[in-house]
Structure formats: C-alpha cells, structure tokens
Chains A and B, each alone.
Chain A
Amino acid sequence: MPSSDDSSGELTSGTRRAAAQPPRASGPPEAGPDPVHQQSQEALHEAEEAVVAGGIGARFRALLGLDSPDFSWTKVLAKQGILLAFVIAMVGFSLASDRFLSFDNFSSVLRQSSIIGIMALGVTIVVISGNLDLSVGSMLSFATILVVDLHDKIGPAPAMAVALVAALACGAINGTLVGVLRLNSLIVTLGMLSAIQGFTLIYSGGQNADITNQSDTWFAFFGRGEIAGIAVPILLFLGLAIILEWVLHGTTFGRRIFAIGSKASAAEYSGINRVKTVFFSYLISAFCVWCAAVVMGSRVMGSQNTVGKGYELLVLAAIIVGGASLLGGSGKISKTVIGVLLLGFIQNGLLLLGFSYWTQWLVTWVVIIVAVWLDVGARRGRLLSPYA
C-alpha cells in the first residue's frame, strides 16, 4: 500500500500540501478505495489530536476537517453528520415553533428521552463488543412491573432489589448464551425479547400494576424528583453516561470490549477472556435497564405489562444514529447520547408542530436510514455512488 510507507502524516506537511492542491481534486483521483481515504481520515484524526489545546477556532476547524489535506464537504457531512443534523433540527424547530426553545420544553424532552437514553448506554457497550441486545424492551417491562407490583407488598427498597436481581438474571442468561455458548446474539436476544415478555405476562396475570400510595413514598424521587432544579432522570442519564464513558475508555474492560468487537479471535489470541467480557457486557446492559425501569416505575407510579414494547428498536435507532457500527469495534457513549437527544427532539418538535404521535415512527426510521447512509458514505468517501 502506498500510503503505508509514509512516515510523515503529520499535520504540518499535510496542511502545506493542502494549500498547494485544490481542495477537491476533480473527482477521479478521489475514486481510489483505500489509501486516499484512510490517509485523509487519519489526517483528520491527527488534526483532532493536534489541536486539543488550540482554542475553539482550531477545535472547530479540526472537527470539520478544514485543515485536512483533501477536504471535502462530503466527508464533513459523513463524519459529523449527526452533529449537523442535530443543529439543523434544533434551529429548524426553534424557528417553526415558538414553544420549542424554552427551558421547560428542553427539560421535558430530556426527561422523556432519559429512559431510552439510559437503556441505550448499556446497549452501546454490547454493540461495541460486536453483539446486539434486543431483549432490553421486554426486560424493561419485566423490571418495571416487578418494582411497581412489589412496592406496596414488600416496600420500595426490597422491590428495587428484587427487580435488580431479575434484570441481572436476564442479562446473565443473555451473557451465557452469547458469551459462553457463542450463539448468535441477534437470535438469542430476539428469543429473550419474546421469552421475557411472556414471563412478564405470566407473572402479572395480564394485569397492569399500580402503586397505591403515590404521594408519600421516597420511591417517587427517581422519576419525579429534582436536584438543583434538574430532574433526577436527566441526572441519572447523564451521570451513567459519564460513568460508562469512563468504563469504556479508562478501564481494561473497555479496552477488551473494543478489542473483541474489532476482532474477536485476535483478542482471544491476546489472552483476553472473551467469555467473561461478553458476559459482563450483558450484565451492564441489564443494569442500565434496571435503572430505566426504576425511573419508569417511579414516574408513572404504575406499569402496563408491555410498557417497554418497541423500546429495543428506539434504543438501537439512537445507537445507530449515533454512528456506532453494528459490526462492533467502534462507537462512542457521547455520540449515543446525541443520537438519543436527536430522536427525542425530533419527536418533540413534530408533536409541537401538530403532527400525530405516529409520525415519530416514520420520521425515526427516516433518520436512521439517513444516518446509515452517511456512515457508509463516510467510509466510501462519497454519498451517491456505491463505488468506492
């Protein structure tokens, strides 16, 4: 590969070359598949790192890759598309509806997104390790029903504990089937989606559950409480995001997740315990679902036995929109957060503009398809042609 013998790749030489060449060298030279784009992506990468300490202007330029040797808007769109879409959506809705841009509205969107968000954080880790977790929707129903139903019977704290054990047990089953037995995670968690929903219905006898004494239980804190004027679900969501971001980037467990997602067999040859790591990733996912269930139960003070139905798809949607590869090895907690917020704000904006609730399903999937398109476009370096 021609690019590989390059020992320079530094920002300075790249920049100089960019000045010498027209930014978008007339189509064809861009047509080559790997070296050109890898090189340019690398340049983007390097540029990012070089300007960390360089002030907002430099950061912005690095973010958009303006200093990259072969800058093109396609690449900017492809690489930062999610951020641009977010900004565009926010500006668009602000202009279209005068109710959109207010603290109350923002706060309510964040609160509504927090349940999907908390679940998406855990699933992001599973996805980075190269697996899927589709069972989170049913798991949410199960844990919420448990916590709400048991609240009056055995008290809030034991109810939460039972729900936690139940959620972790579901996670452990996923982890065993996918991690130990190496079954396909799509099939396993799809099966678990159905099985846990069935179990939930059996447990509840088809009945929905309620908390009778809603006003004076401290359990209300998780869904309805506020700290310094900010709703607790939002704090939980952001707090968990920060913790899991640290887990992914500050711990060897995070390193193992990325290694396994990037190339499972190479990770195993390196002495990484794949079974343990995959198992643990499903436990994290289950833990996040439990957190979401506590928030859900506390906010609604009751639960339908199918409350989480369809959530697995919204969760996956947020992760895909955030740009994690479903093949594993890449993804970011922060981008998942943006993905969650983007979907949340789009839904909210559409409602404010008078579109029906059902429109969100349509729009959500349009957003997902566009996100995947941009992602693939980033790798091909062009959006409209399937050829690299």
Chain B
Amino acid sequence: MIQPAEPSKTPVLSVEGVSKSFPGVKALDGVSFEVRPGEVMALVGENGAGKSTLMKVIDGIYQPEEGSVSIGGETVALQSPQDAKRRGIAMIHQELSLVEDLSVAENLFLGELPRKSLGRVDWKKLYADSRRLLDRLNCQFSPRALIRNLTVAHKQLVEIARALVYETRVVIFDEPTTSLTDRERLLLFEIIRDLRSQGVGIVYISHKMDEIFELSDRITVLRDGTPQGVLETAETDEDSVVERMIGRKVSHAARTDFRSGEDVVLQVSDLWSRGAFREVSFELRSGEILGFYGLIGSGRTEILEAIFGLRKCYRGEIRVAGERLDKHNPEEAIARGIALIPEDRKENGLALSLACDRNLGMTVMNQWGNLAHPSREKRLFEEYREKLSIKAPGPSYPVDNLSGGNQQKVVIGKWLATEPRILLVDEPTRGIDVGSKAQIHQLLRDLAAEGYAIIVVSSEMPEIIRVSDRVLSLYEGRIVSELVGEEISEESVGRAITGVGELASTAHDSNTSPES
C-alpha cells in the first residue's frame, strides 16, 4: 500500500485486504485499493481478474469475507448499492439504466422528485435543480428533454449527473467509452477531469490502455484476484502495465511474417447490396489473412454477411474454389467451407442458456443427419477445450457462466468444428482483455499458417495491423484501397480512410476492375 503523501490526501475511498470467494473460486484475495480525492485511479486487469467483484464490494452488492472498506477514513459495512450511493459512491455502469420515456430531470431525481403539498411534484424546483446539475457538467441540453431523444453520449452525461445528486465523493466508471464516438469520448474525458478538479475521486475501469494513460494519475493492477501493485501513471509505460496484467513479457518485434497466400479460394465480383455496399470485388487466398478496415457503417460487416448468405445481394457473384454460390443461405455457405464468427457473440454467436457441448455441436449438426450424437458433442468439447484452452469445467457447463474471452473461444471452436477453409471473423476481440486478445491474434495467425483463408473485420487499427497480410479499406460501402504486406502501417491505413475524398475514385477504380 502506498501511504498518503500528505494529510489532506487521506483516501476518500480505501479498501484494505479484502477477500471474497465464490464456490470453487477465490475472486479476491487480500486486495487493497484506494482513491484519493482529486485523482483518477485506473483499475486494470484481464477478464476474471476480479475487477467487477471488487467494484461490487465497493458498491455494497457483495460483502467481503475479510478486510474492510472505508469511505473518507471511516470504516463502513455497505449493505446495498443504495447504501453506497448515500455514502457518496456513484457507479456509472457500462449499460445505461435510464427510463427512456421520461425527461432528463425526472430521471435525475427518479424516486425522489421534489414534492409540494398533497404529494404534487414541484416541477419548478425539479427543473431548477436539474439545470444546476447539468451546468456542473457543462451540458447544453434541456432538463425537459426526453431521454429517448438524446445521443448515447448525452445519456451517459445524464447518468453522471444523476451520480452527482448526492454529495458524491467517488465516481466509478466501468468501461464508459465502449459506445462513444471519438468526439464524445473527449467530452467525457473533459468532464472526468473537471470532476477531478472538484476534488472527487475517480475510479476508471477500462481495457483500453491509451485511455488509461491519457486520463489516470495512478493505476492499480489486478490479476487472478490478487493485487499486482499500484503504479504512478507518469512513471510507467504500457508494456509494464500489460506485463503485470498478464504475468509475462510482451514482445514488440516488427512483423516479418507476411504471407502472400496460395490458391484463390474465394472470389467476390462486383457485389452490390442495397443500402450496404456496392461494386465490391476481391479475392481471398488460402493461407492469408485479409483485413477489412473501415468505420462503422462502411459496409464491412455487411460484406461478410453477404458472403455467408445472411444478406441479399442484387448484383454480382460469389465463387468458392471457382464454383458459384447459388442458394445464398448459411447452410450452403457452411457446406462449402465458409464460417462466420460474428461480432455480437451474445446475439449471434451463442445460445447462452445451453451447455458448451451443445453450442459446439450446433454448426456441425447438419452433417449428422437426423440423429443427435451426444458423444461426438462431448468429443468436440474435449478437443476444443484442449486446442483453444477454454476454461470450462465440463461439457454440460452453460456458456452463460463463462467469461467473455472463453465464450469467444467457444464461438471460434464451434466454427472450426465445421472444418472450414474460409474463416470470416468480425471484430474478433471486442470487449476482450489484453491477454486473451493476444491469444486470439496468435490463433488467427496460426490458422492462416495452417492454410485457412481468413478475413478479419475490425475497427481497431492495431488489431488490423497486427494480424493482416493484406488490408482492404472500406469507405461508405466501397473498397477504397488495398495495402499489401509491408505497406501496412497505422499511417497508410489511416490515410486510406481519411484522405478518402480525393482517393475514392482512383483507388476504387484500380481496385475493382482488374481483380474480377
């Protein structure tokens, strides 16, 4: 534990030696954690490192078995989130919890609207109080606005404002930027800095290292429920934080392993889909990873869906190993050796309430005929638990109970089980921690080396650069540039998207016609 530097810096929140177990797992083991007034304390760790459990202890959802929590130097036994809120701890969750059809002001004071006689709502006071709160965050919008009509960023501001209704001493942000645009993110950071200057203690939880280094004063690292030390942000760097998180060194050797691929396994020529993309032509070779980079709405996901038969196209054709796809449905795609690992694993990847083996068997079932084969499902589970090091106790374990990274491995497993030649991977590491990310990147590289043809769609440029042998940049539904091997860099990929105004026509021409 770091001692407070000066008396005025008594931690506003301090957790001492907290332990918490669940059946079969010690989620927290002697964890200490503190936040001083007017600082941003980042909390990092892989999924399952105990961040959420620690936050639930601080929020009064869990009661620790050992150790203590003190707020403003006074030891407290928090019994519920309401309790924590009353004592000045505000939690801003990843999922917003606002009532869409009520006004901003009503949401701010939900459950405790100011009253006049006979229980009537004192609207005047409500709006005045709300205005004051919003002003504190420099919000321009009216307290009378309906939540439904606000942008995600503004909703988040309302959520933060709600935290300030009480005398707030600590605000906890849990992955707050996931659904924000860049500009909205900057706005949020400004507000966090503002809160900090007002003497509020901030806890900032994120997987994104750049944000942590931009914002935080100190960093607490957790791994497997045990503390890995507190670092001064100014005196450390990304690598040493990640090393503490994952417990091993990270290497940054420049890539030399570009592969050019062998036979053409997938040919897309002049493919058009209404409202999504147009004139899309490219080839994919076995043994290469083709990166699709573009902003949300650039058509990248839609192209994958079209290849996989989930989206209608009104022009163009798709050939697998020279033969045309003609039914355009997932069954045909799977039968021809195409696999799509979708972006949203909870919606499209997994049947969460079912067991691991059932999920793994889902894609291969079509090859089994009419009878189910529980023993094959169990074998699939054993095989992929081994291959992908899925942390799951048994085949009948519900996937719902696995961590995000392990769920993603089940999704990858169920697709590898179809023995595909072409892997379409959409945002393979969204919401996944650094350690698992690296594992999944390595896995993709290994698969390519084994001869799989892979398309990776990602909105994270580092990811695209780390895994791709070739990058196609997309802009508003068109392919605007192609970069091969050593041409791929942050700069070149970035330029392809931003300088698109002038490049669009030329790059596009050079790209579509000769290939098809």
Binding site for B on A (CB under 8 A): 1-10, 13-14, 17, 28-29, 31-33, 35-36, 38-40, 42-43, 45-46, 49, 69-70, 249-256, 258-259, 262-263, 265-273, 329-330
Contact = CB atoms under 8 A, between A and B. Distances in A.
8 contacts: A3-B23, A3-B25, A7-B391, A29-B62, A32-B62, A267-B351, A269-B349, A271-B331
B348 to A, nearest CB: 5
Contacts, number: 169
B224 interface: yes
Nearest to B330: A271
B394 A46 contact: yes
Contact of A270 (B56, B362, B368): B362
B401 A272 contact: no
A254 B358 CA distance: 11
Interface stretch (B45-53, B110-118, B235-243, B289-297): B45-53
A256 B48 contact: no
Q: Which of B50, B52, B330, B372 has the most CB of A within 10 A?
A: B372
A29 B63 contact: yes
A365 to B, nearest CB: 27
Contacts of A10: 393
A266 B348 contact: yes
Contacts of B300: none
B79 interface: yes
B479 interface: no
Nearest to B333: A271
Given A4-B402, A258-B358, A266 B351 contact: yes
A259 B351 contact: yes
Interface string B419-445: 000000000000000000000000000
A266 B349 contact: yes
Contacts of B369: 252
B353 A5 contact: no
Contacts of B461: none
Nearest to B368: A252
Contact of B48 (A5, A8, A17, A263): A5
A269 to B, nearest CB: 5
B342 interface: yes
Given A10-B393, A14-B23, A14-B24, A251 B371 contact: yes
B365 interface: yes
A352 to B, nearest CB: 40
Contacts of A259: 351, 354, 358, 362
B346 to A, nearest CB: 8
In which size bucket is the chain B interface? 35 or more
Given A13-B24, A267-B351, A272 B393 contact: no
Given A29-B62, A32-B62, A255-B361, A3 B401 contact: yes
Given A2-B25, A249-B372, A270-B362, A262 B353 contact: yes
B393 A7 contact: yes
Contact of A266 (B331, B347, B361, B401): B347
Given A32-B62, A39-B22, A4 B330 contact: no
Contacts of A33: 61
Interface string B306-332: 001010000000000000000000110
Given A252-B371, A262-B352, A267-B351, A32 B365 contact: no
User: Which of B53, B350, B353 is most buried by chain A, counting CB atoms within 10 A of its CB?
Assistant: B353
B308 to A, nearest CB: 8
Interface string B36-73: 00000000000110101100100001110100000000
B365 A256 contact: yes
B401 A38 contact: yes
Given A251-B370, A329-B354, A272 B63 contact: no
Interface string B368-408: 11111000000000000000000111101110111100100
Contact of A272 (B56, B79, B365, B403): B365
A4 B23 contact: no
Which of A28, A258, A270 has the most chain B CB atoms closer than 10 A to its own CB? A270
Nearest to B332: A271
A250 B225 CA distance: 42
